[in-house]
Amino acid sequence: MKKIIVQKFGGTSVADTEKIKNAAKIAIKEKENGNDVVVVVSAMGHTTDFLVKMAKELSSHPSDREMDMLLSTGEGVSIALLTMAIQAQGYDAVSFNAMQIGIMTEKIHSKARIIDIHTEKLRKNLNEGKIIVVAGFQGITEDGEITTLGRGGSDTSAVALASALNAERCDIYTDVEGVYTTDPRIVPKASKLKSVSYDEMLELAHAGANVLHPRSVETAKHYNVPLRVRSSFNTDNEGTLILGVEKMEIYKPVTGVASDLSQARIVVCDVPDKPGVAAKLFSKLAHENISVDMIIQSYARKVSNTNDIAFTVNLDDVPGTVSALESLKSEIGFNGEIQTNNDIAKVSIVGAGMIDRPGVASMMFEALAEQGINIKMISTSEIKISCLVDKSDADKAVKALHNVFELACDKTAEVKGDLPDV
């Protein structure tokens, strides 16, 4: 049986007809290598942003259902055009949207998770020798409603398809040459990683390294799908492999730095200091499908017997969060202020090498302090430390952290085998 390779082309890789021709060539080359090929595409260029902008011009609160109806159209254009480009080169190809295949998702608009993918049609068309082009980012519920997977979700469509088809590998073609130690647009001297573990990549993606949609890494890890990030425009570069295996020896405490500008901080002031309050608050948000990231609860003030709970949510979820909290006021018995701050950013350092190495956190805090950057919240996991800072400080913070942990490409050689004292 032939091996199946799933390829995914992001918006910039199909931004115009020349780029679509280039993507077609890459798909054909893989077919010529003797493999079966399934290609997942995003909407062309900034189409999705443009559609969002138009919706917002018409309505301050467009309904989630209609947003999904609207945004799912972008990918419909690119699958047909890419298929035509492949056919024009003399190869047999066919495009399908998520409804035609049966990419089944939960009944949640704008951030649905894939539950199942029907593979019959895909297998039949592969057996007929066709290159298959599939619309990323979209799905369908069992009652026929169109859903989308969240911004950047085509990566997740590709990995889920690779897993459903038992593919040999999933190649994510994008506008950079792989996964770097930080966003190369912020730090041009960032180093490209040859490989990175699922766990580190998952943390980096959650921390805002939007080169991969976090759920694509989660799915790849869960189903053990070998994942590769590489450039659409320089296919000589083998890119970055994301794999289950850790490096035998980890020389550096930190593998990468990321920033996330899409979060907002909410502070719920003067909530009663008694059992069950946090549970009620966060289960209400979970019920509304709002994901919470960093959480801090202040020490209870003995005089008033209340405390403050601060947390972060996605900027898009701020209105929903505030109305959910307002609706809880009488039930929980609080009447304090609900403060929101949209001008914050989360900066994070990630690295399996920080386990059991004391001093990494203090190095991070010192580097930020040296730049006069104030830290508003801190959260940690085994392989990640995140600090909330002012949005205007985000790039400065990323540069300082990339520098202090010696991640620049011209430093890599020095650091290998010569661990900095941390």
Residues that bind Mg ion (CB under 5 A): 10, 152
User: 230, 194 in Cβ contact below 8 A?
Assistant: no
Instruction: State how far Cα 171 lies from the chain centre.
Output: 16
What are the backbone dihedrals phi and psi of residue 287, each rounded to the nearest 5 degrees, phi first? -60, -35
Question: Is the Cβ of residue 43 or residue 79 nearer to ligand ASP in the bound state?
Answer: 43
45: contact with ligand ADP by CB under 6 A: no
- For residue 112, the partner it binds in Mg ion, ligand ADP, ligand ASP, none, with Cβ less than 5 to 8 A by kind, is none
Binding residue for ligand ASP, selected from 20, 83, 122, 153, defined by CB under 6 A: 153
Reference 79, options 147, 143, 158, 2; nearest CA is 158
Binding residue for ligand ASP, selected from 45, 74, 214, 256, defined by CB under 6 A: 74
Alpha-carbon distance 93 to 7, whole Å?
14
208: contact with ligand ASP by CB under 6 A: no
Q: Structure tokens of 36?
A: 């079966």
Binding residue for ligand ASP, selected from 5, 7, 11, 101, defined by CB under 6 A: 11
Q: Structure tokens of 218?
A: 């989660």
Binding letters toward ligand ADP, positions 121-160, x by CB under 6 A: -------------------------------x--------
182: contact with ligand ADP by CB under 6 A: yes
What is the closest distance, in whole angstroms, from the C-beta atom of residue 209 to ligand ADP in the complex?
Answer: 4
Q: Structure tokens of 165?
A: 């088809």
Helix or strand (DSSP H, E) at 140? strand 138-140
Question: Is the Cβ of residue 170 or residue 325 nearer to Mg ion in the bound state?
Answer: 170
405 to each of 246, 351, 366, 393, 402, how far by Cα in Å?
20, 11, 12, 18, 6
Question: Is the Cβ of residue 130 or residue 151 nearer to ligand ASP in the bound state?
Answer: 151
What is the closest distance, in whole angstroms, from the C-beta atom of residue 295 to ligand ASP in the complex?
Answer: 27
Helix or strand (DSSP H, E) at 385? strand 384-390
The contacts found for 374-378 with CB under 8 angstroms, 24 or more apart, are 376/265, 376/344, 377/265, 377/294, 377/296, 377/310, 377/312, 378/294
What is the closest distance, in whole angstroms, from the C-beta atom of residue 152 to Mg ion in the complex?
Answer: 4
- The residue range among 58-66, 139-147, 150-158, 350-358 that interacts with ligand ASP, by the rule CB under 6 A, is 150-158
Q: Structure tokens of 10?
A: 């992001």
38: contact with ligand ADP by CB under 6 A: no
Question: Is the Cβ of residue 173 or residue 405 nearer to ligand ASP in the bound state?
Answer: 173
154: contact with ligand ASP by CB under 6 A: yes
User: 271, 328 in Cβ contact below 8 A?
Assistant: no
What is the closest distance, in whole angstroms, from the C-beta atom of residue 360 to Mg ion in the complex?
Answer: 29
Q: Is 375 helix (H, G, I), strand (E, B) or coil?
A: coil
Q: Is 160 helix (H, G, I), strand (E, B) or coil?
A: helix
Start-to-end Cα distance in the chain: 51
Number of residues that bind ligand ASP (CB under 6 A): 12
- The residue range among 104-112, 146-154, 192-200, 308-316 that interacts with ligand ASP, by the rule CB under 6 A, is 146-154
45: contact with ligand ASP by CB under 6 A: no
Residues near ligand ADP, by CB under 6 A: 10-13, 42, 152, 174-176, 179-180, 182-183, 185, 209-211, 256
